[in-house]
Amino acid sequence: MNVFDRLESSVCSYARSFPVTFGKAQGATLWDTRGRAYIDFLAGAGTLNYGHNHPLLKEALVEYIAGDGIAHGLDFHTEAKETFLESLDARIFAPRGLHYVVQFTGPTGTNAVEAALKIARNVTGRQNVVAFTNGFHGVSLGAAAATGNDLHRSAAGFPLLGVTRALFDAYLGPDIDTIDVLDRLLEDRSSGVDAPAAAIVETVQGEGGLNVASARWLQRLESLCRRHGMLLIVDDIQAGCGRTGTFFSFERIGISPDIVTLSKSLSGYGLPLAVVLMKPEFDQWKPGEHNGTFRGNNHAFVTARAALEHFWRDDALTREVDRKAELLADGFAHIAARHEGVVVKGRGMMQGLAFGSGALAETVARQAFSRGLVIETSGAEGQVLKCLCPLVIDDAELTRALEIIERATQVALEVPERLPNPERPLKKVG
């Protein structure tokens, strides 16, 4: 029995979908230990926007390590953090006219979400928080309460409290503006919905199935938050760092979140890093109130800085992503046009195909994997095949991947239900 079977918990999920052992990686390519190459359309569940082991970032990191730069720094002031903050300011905040204070939390998305919820609750003195259908915000107890997926919810073994569920954009179809529903509940003094501290929202729900919130809906959400004394928290952990073209997913939408959570691709190299950005007036933390051993992961600061300096000094990456997003949209539209019931979803380089069932999407993903493409599903039933390829993927790989998906779809739909429909499709979430 191999060491994984012997020693690793049954909680693993990706390892089941891709039953090989990976060794090396570069750009958009993964190699297993037998030397087989795969195009990576998962990219660490959106953590590798700049691809695996980007040479410039690698160089900066190796140099830092070689020079005995501090690896672990708690919340110390360190050179690596200083230069990261300077780059964040110069490359991201300043050009966008943003004024945020940065909190380094434990280096995981869920930890950033936990901190964001605490801020909102403490600043407003309210305990309720609005989260949306199909949202995913993490699985620690506070964040899990905001997460919609019942696999994660029921795993808590304790009721998930303090969150009122609201309806995401278009949840009831195109004719009902779900902001009106929330507004009605908040206006109504006997609706039974307690005044919320905040609304936490993803502009594109990655795990929820590539559901896109429209600009107008997000603008109305912001306005509702202002009207009801709530903070607006954008969880940009998966959609941020350029995934939708701009650095923040909300830049073109014209909203001004009070709090933003970032993680995943922030370090640029797949290293653990997470931050909460908050408007200065909400930085009411007392020293040490929210802490965590690894909030000073200086290796991540080094690669994060290098990524900011390389990719965000101009709008080249944004234009690149916009262009490839169109390629993806076209490619998916082409497939969808040929197969009834297949629908294109998402925006930017966070697009995919919704199939009629989780079993079908799963078959497509497995067929794709057998053809050398690592790709996953998302959505409540795992029914959405989701492309999260590196933004820096080259066009040839992108085209090749689309061909594989097309072929896999064809095979899956021609031989329907070749796989047993699992009573409970596995959810694989980054």
Window 47 to 86, contacts with a second copy (CB under 8 A): 47-48, 52-53, 58, 61-62, 65-79, 81-82, 85-86
Looking at the Cβ atoms of 173 and 414, the one nearer to a second copy is 173
Q: Which of 258, 271, 354 is nearest to 307 (CA)?
A: 271
Please tell me the distance from the alpha carbon of residue 171 to that of residue 184, in angstroms, as a whole number: 16
Map the footprint of a second copy across residues 225-244, applying CB under 8 A. Answer: 237
Identity of the amino acid at 308: L
Residue 319 — φ and ψ, nearest 5°? -65, -40
Please tell me the distance from the alpha carbon of residue 122 to that of residue 281, in angstroms, as a whole number: 12
Please tell me the distance from the alpha carbon of residue 54 to that of residue 414, in angstroms, as a whole number: 39
Q: Judged by CB under 8 A, does residue 35 bind a second copy?
A: no
Q: Judged by CB under 8 A, does residue 348 bind a second copy?
A: no
Q: Judged by CB under 8 A, does residue 16 bind a second copy?
A: yes
Q: Judged by CB under 8 A, does residue 390 bind a second copy?
A: no
Beta strands in 110-241 (DSSP E): 128-132, 163-166, 196-201, 204-205, 211-212, 231-235
Beta strands in 279-393 (DSSP E): 343-347, 350-354, 373-374, 376-378, 384-387
Please tell me the distance from the alpha carbon of residue 308 to that of residue 189, in angstroms, as a whole number: 47
Among 183, 251, 283, 309, binds a second copy (CB under 8 A): 283
**What is the closest distance, in whole angstroms, from the C-beta atom of residue 318 to a second copy in the complex?**
23
Q: Judged by CB under 8 A, does residue 13 bind a second copy?
A: yes
39 contacts: CB under 8 Å, gap ≥ 6: 28, 29, 30, 372, 373, 374, 389, 393, 397, 400, 401, 404
Q: Judged by CB under 8 A, does residue 21 bind a second copy?
A: yes
Q: Judged by CB under 8 A, does residue 9 bind a second copy?
A: yes
Q: Which DSSP state fits 285?
A: P
**What is the closest distance, in whole angstroms, from the C-beta atom of residue 245 to a second copy in the complex?**
21
Q: Judged by CB under 8 A, does residue 34 bind a second copy?
A: no
Please tell me the distance from the alpha carbon of residue 198 to that of residue 126, in angstroms, as a whole number: 9
Looking at the Cβ atoms of 291 and 399, the one nearer to a second copy is 291
Map the footprint of a second copy across residues 255-274, applying CB under 8 A. Answer: 263-264, 269-272
Among 193, 215, 333, 411, binds a second copy (CB under 8 A): 193
Q: Judged by CB under 8 A, does residue 292 bind a second copy?
A: yes
Q: Which DSSP state fits 265?
A: G
**What is the closest distance, in whole angstroms, from the C-beta atom of residue 275 to a second copy in the complex?**
9
Q: Judged by CB under 8 A, does residue 101 bind a second copy?
A: yes
Map the footprint of a second copy across residues 302-321, applying CB under 8 A. Answer: none
Q: What does each C-alpha distance from 41 to 181, 223, 386, 405 come to in angstroms? A: 37, 36, 8, 11
Looking at the Cβ atoms of 25 and 398, the one nearer to a second copy is 25
Map the footprint of a second copy across residues 102-141, applying CB under 8 A. Answer: 102-104, 106-111, 114, 117-118, 120-122, 127-128, 131-136, 138-141
Looking at the Cβ atoms of 174 and 192, the one nearer to a second copy is 192
**What is the closest distance, in whole angstroms, from the C-beta atom of residue 120 to a second copy in the complex?**
8
Q: State the residue for tokens 């031989």.
A: 415
Among 37, 176, 337, 415, binds a second copy (CB under 8 A): 176
